[in-house]
Structure 1
Amino acid sequence: MGRQDYKPLIEQIRRRISHWTNLFLSMAGRLQLIASVLMSIANFWMSSFILPGECIKEINSICSAFLWLGPALSLKKAKISWDIVCLPKREGGLGLRPLKEANMVSSLKLIWRLTSQQGSLWAKWVHTYLICNGNFWAIKESTSLGAWIWRKLLKYRDKAKVFHRMEVHSGKSTSFWYDTWSDMGHLYDVVGPRGCIDMGIRATASVASVFNRQKRAHRVDVLNQIEAVLENQRLKAVDAEDTPLWKQKEGTYKNLFSTKRTWHLIRQAAPIVNWHTGIWFQQATPKYAFCTWLALHNRLTTGDRMITWSSSIDPACIFCQHGIETRNHLFFECVFTAAVWTKLTRGLLGTHFSTNWDSILSLLVSNTLDCRVRFLVRVVFQTSLLSLWRERNERRHGSTPTPSASLVKFIDRQVKNKCLSIPVTGNQRLGALLQLWFASQA
């Protein structure tokens, strides 16, 4: 597939983004549009075509630029690499699925359609005109038949072999050499072309066609193992259709293709971060959670980071003017921010109260706290973080400072609104939240 072939996809994505120029979207809002709209467009294409690497790279660049700077699509100010953004939330990312991995899963799904033959018109056409009564696994990659997508699919067979296998009943539709019907895998890959000669079994033979063959003794151990496996399968043969299976997890195969489970099996998982449940909890406000996520990755433009960009920038804390403004200082070691945090959470946390960043993070995921207290601490933490960060930015740009009492009042109002927004019915664990909050502020 050349650039002219996938150019309509790129133009469609850019056109979608251009329609959002008049929307005042937060980064969390743009993230939602990327996940629900832009990725859906790409996934639709990948369901029918195998996108080249250059196309995926360009889509990733567009999505990254839109996430960080909106429709301007500038590529120079990404706060966090796109690879981290596309990690699952439990691994420190934002839960987007990498297009490269999604592209591979879509390719494997096309192979599943070919090998399972479950009513796909496209699969029937391929079997008629490209496979031509042969075996999909036996076709040479250098074949001149078919378009580029067909030859690309042939290159994915080695990856698909790990997932596909046949459950043999009668053995009539299972290739002896090329299908995985035993724990030995593809027998042709095990013994090569010489194995067909040594065992006296044609390369095109089905499992059923060799059931009546007389067992032989061989000098090579692997051939004797194949004979034993074949004998065992002969004893279990029944008059029923063979069933194609797809790997769901280690040691488990089913007669269905699961996109999610296949993706989990092909990807290289990153370490799980211990704070993800404290940020991406149910009822979390997306824009608050997004800002907190940035802070946890230490990607807010605090003074200690800005001084590395330009020596003319004053890195001192804008609130207290004491020391360099770091993330940990701003939340909540600074006298000003500590006063806000103390007013809001001391009554709620009691002996667990702390202004230390790491201690607060441990409280967000702690099982020692009552679930209602933990929920309120999470809400207060995220709301305070974004509110103080906005106040910090406004002061940096010369706006009139807001007193700490006004900030406390604003955050208190946001917490109350969140408590009121949670339905009382169906969530007994979070009952009486508002009463608990009022009691802690008394």
Structure 2
Amino acid sequence: MEKSTIYLAGVSDLTSQEIKDRYRFDVGQLPVRYLGLPLVTKRLTAMDYNPLLEHIKKKIGSWTARYLSYAGRLNLITSVLRSICNFWLAAFRLPRDCIREIDKLCSAFLWSGPDLNPHKARICWDTVCKPKIEGGLGLRPLKEVNDVCCLKLIWRIASHANSLWVKWIERYLLKKETFWSIKATTNRGSWIWTKLLKYRDNAKHFCKVEVKNGRKTSFWYENWSTLGPLFDVVGERGMIDLGIRRHMTVADAWSGRRQRRHRAALLNRIEEALMLQKHNRVDEEDKVLWRGANDTYKDKFLTKETWRQTRSVSNKVPWYKGIWFAHATPKYSFCAWLAVQNRLSTKDRMLQWNRGLQATCTLCNNNFETRDHLFFSCRFAAEVWENLAKNIYKARFSTNWSALIATVSGHWQDRIESFIARYLPQVTVHTVWRERNGRTHGEPPNPGSRLIQWIDKQVRNQISTIKATGDRRYEKALQIWFQSRP
């Protein structure tokens, strides 16, 4: 009884009450939901996917995001909010409006916390959703994930997966057809079935069959030879010339006809391919393969590799290695990422929306405040930076921002020196930026010596943390750091 629910529709209130009194089931409300997903046959409407949006908002509201850094919010988006979306994407192709609303919520949460203010974004969401090597934060765009999930559903159908859903499709939707041969204008199935049929042209480039006994491989519509799907090569006329009917499998073509010689060289190549497979046949089930990285075919679907082959690619950024590296602290890396994109709220940028702002540097009270001035041309910041970094960089030491980013993003022969040289600027940028913000908002100023102590302590703590993880490659890091200190 506790697992059963009754749904009432199209009956009067009196009849409805009589049914409730007679059957002591819980009364559910339409639309029906199973495991949190709506059971619908038509295209998802705003009412259908609204529970997904509400679930995301509820999750965001439950987090005390005011105590979270940008990196902390990013981690929650990646691990929690995207997991909620993936559960829906595994079953449905979400409408564009739904994806747009989810992106707005995630963007607002990343930049403003639970206030969900959409006007505080510092970098557009399309850039955030690029791989880190291309200047983003490594989130996958939901639209691209949506496409990959549809391809995964096609893989389950094409590979004859042992699931109730696939068996139902084969019996009631495909019948004697294959997934590749059924007409796109068919009236069978739900709206998601129609959408999957539109993805076939894309899926054809990934799916391939390794013929064993040939009993489950369509001769005309599946990619079993080096020529690709043969119907796409020779069309209806080829069926007549070869004498192989539309629904025949490779095994049927072996046993149901004799090899012929044709005037067309292409038809003879098909005959040769068929005979070659016949000589190599074994008493095993045909194996459906999916294209992975480096054009290698595997007998399983790999989401990551499929996404990489279908996504939109952008140019790589030259500063990638200087921002994202092993054992980096996420909140420092995020701050450095904003700085390298020149999206920190320095006064030169704030002047764009507040013309009356005093744009003098808060730290030195002398020059115009820009990113390049703060890191590290400013007299105050340069003193801190020189004390910490001069003995690490030696001949490559510079207070010029562009030169520094080029140096940390370049090649370092020694692993330990590479880590310290990349980690130190991030900690210093974060500390100087925090000091600048504190002074701007009226907090008592800290002397440069105190900032140096904080940064020195953070570097030592990070090296000790790495050592505690058991990574022996950095055992001499603390010694090298102590040797560099004046």
Shorter-chain TM band? over 0.9
Give the letter for the 1:318 counterpart. Answer: T
Residue 254 (structure 1) aligns with: 298
Equivalence map 1:67-82=2 (5 Å): 67-82=110-125
- Whether 2:263 is the aligned partner of 1:202: answer no
Give the letter for the 1:281 counterpart. Answer: F
Contact 1:317–1:323 (8 Å) recurs in 2: yes
- Whether 2:146 is the aligned partner of 1:98: answer no
Equivalence map 1:111-126=2 (5 Å): 111-126=154-169
Equivalence map 1:251-330=2 (5 Å): 251-330=295-374
Give, in angstroms, the shift of residue 358 of structure 1.
2.3
- Whether 2:181 is the aligned partner of 1:146: answer no
| 1:91-110 deviation digits (Å, cap 9, x = unpaired) | 21111111111111111111
Question: Residue 17 of structure 1: SS of its match in structure 2?
Answer: helix
Give, in angstroms, the shift of residue 219 of structure 1.
4.5
Please point out which of 111, 135, 160 is paired with 2:178.
Answer: 135
**Which sections of structure 1, spanning at least 5 residues, go unmatched?**
none
Give, in angstroms, the shift of residue 140 of structure 1.
1.4
Q: Aligned partners of 1:55 and 1:219: how far apart in 2?
A: 55
Question: Residue 360 of structure 2: SS of its match in structure 1?
Answer: coil
Question: Residue 442 of structure 2: SS of its match in structure 1?
Answer: coil
Question: Residue 422 of structure 1: SS of its match in structure 2?
Answer: helix
Contact 2:65–2:73 (8 Å) recurs in 1: no
Equivalence map 1:279-428=2 (5 Å): 279-368=323-412, 370-423=414-467, 426-428=470-472
Give the letter for the 2:280 counterpart. Answer: K
Contact 1:424–1:431 (8 Å) recurs in 2: no
Contact 2:213–2:282 (8 Å) recurs in 1: yes
Q: Aligned partners of 1:22 and 1:352: how far apart in 2?
A: 40
Contact 1:170–1:239 (8 Å) recurs in 2: yes
Give the letter for the 2:202 counterpart. Answer: K
Give, in angstroms, the shift of residue 272 of structure 1.
2.1
Residue 177 (structure 1) aligns with: 220
Give, in angstroms, the shift of residue 137 of structure 1.
0.9
Q: Aligned partners of 2:141 and 2:337: how far apart in 1?
A: 19
Residue 56 (structure 2) aligns with: 13
Q: Aligned partners of 2:97 and 2:270: how far apart in 1?
A: 44
Give the letter for the 1:19 counterpart. Answer: S
Q: Aligned partners of 2:365 and 2:252: how far apart in 1?
A: 85
Residue 244 (structure 1) aligns with: 288
| 1:64-116 deviation digits (Å, cap 9, x = unpaired) | 01000011111112111111111111221111111111111111111111111
Contact 1:247–1:253 (8 Å) recurs in 2: yes
Give the letter for the 1:131 counterpart. Answer: L
Please point out which of 224, 227, 233 is paired with 2:277.
Answer: 233
| 1:166-198 deviation digits (Å, cap 9, x = unpaired) | 111221111011111112211112222232223
Contact 1:363–1:374 (8 Å) recurs in 2: no
Give, in angstroms, the shift of residue 282 of structure 1.
1.9
Contact 2:127–2:135 (8 Å) recurs in 1: yes
Question: Residue 189 of structure 2: SS of its match in structure 1?
Answer: coil
Q: Aligned partners of 1:173 and 1:80: how far apart in 2?
A: 51
Deviates more, 1:102-111 or 1:186-195: 186-195
Question: Residue 165 of structure 1: SS of its match in structure 2?
Answer: strand
Contact 2:208–2:288 (8 Å) recurs in 1: yes
Q: Aligned partners of 1:368 and 1:142: how far apart in 2?
A: 59
Equivalence map 1:39-50=2 (5 Å): 39-50=82-93
Contact 1:90–1:276 (8 Å) recurs in 2: yes
Q: Taking structure 2 as the reference length, what is the TM-score of the superposition? A: 0.87
Q: Aligned partners of 1:88 and 1:98: how far apart in 2?
A: 10
Q: Aligned partners of 1:134 and 1:244: how far apart in 2?
A: 17
Give, in angstroms, the shift of residue 349 of structure 1.
2.4
Give the letter for the 2:136 counterpart. Answer: G
Deviates more, 1:27-36 or 1:165-174: 165-174
Deviates more, 1:39-48 or 1:224-233: 224-233
- Whether 2:96 is the aligned partner of 1:53: answer yes
Give the letter for the 2:179 counterpart. Answer: F
Q: Aligned partners of 1:377 and 1:248: how far apart in 2?
A: 37
Question: Residue 292 of structure 2: SS of its match in structure 1?
Answer: strand
Q: Aligned partners of 2:253 and 2:97: how far apart in 1?
A: 47
Identity of aligned pairs, percent?
50
Give the letter for the 2:51 counterpart. Answer: P
Contact 1:131–1:139 (8 Å) recurs in 2: yes
Residue 38 (structure 1) aligns with: 81
Residue 19 (structure 2) aligns with: none
Change (3 A) 1:22 1:169: closer
RMSD: 1.8
Q: Aligned partners of 2:64 and 2:410: how far apart in 1?
A: 42
Q: Aligned partners of 2:400 and 2:415: how far apart in 1?
A: 21
Residue 85 (structure 1) aligns with: 128
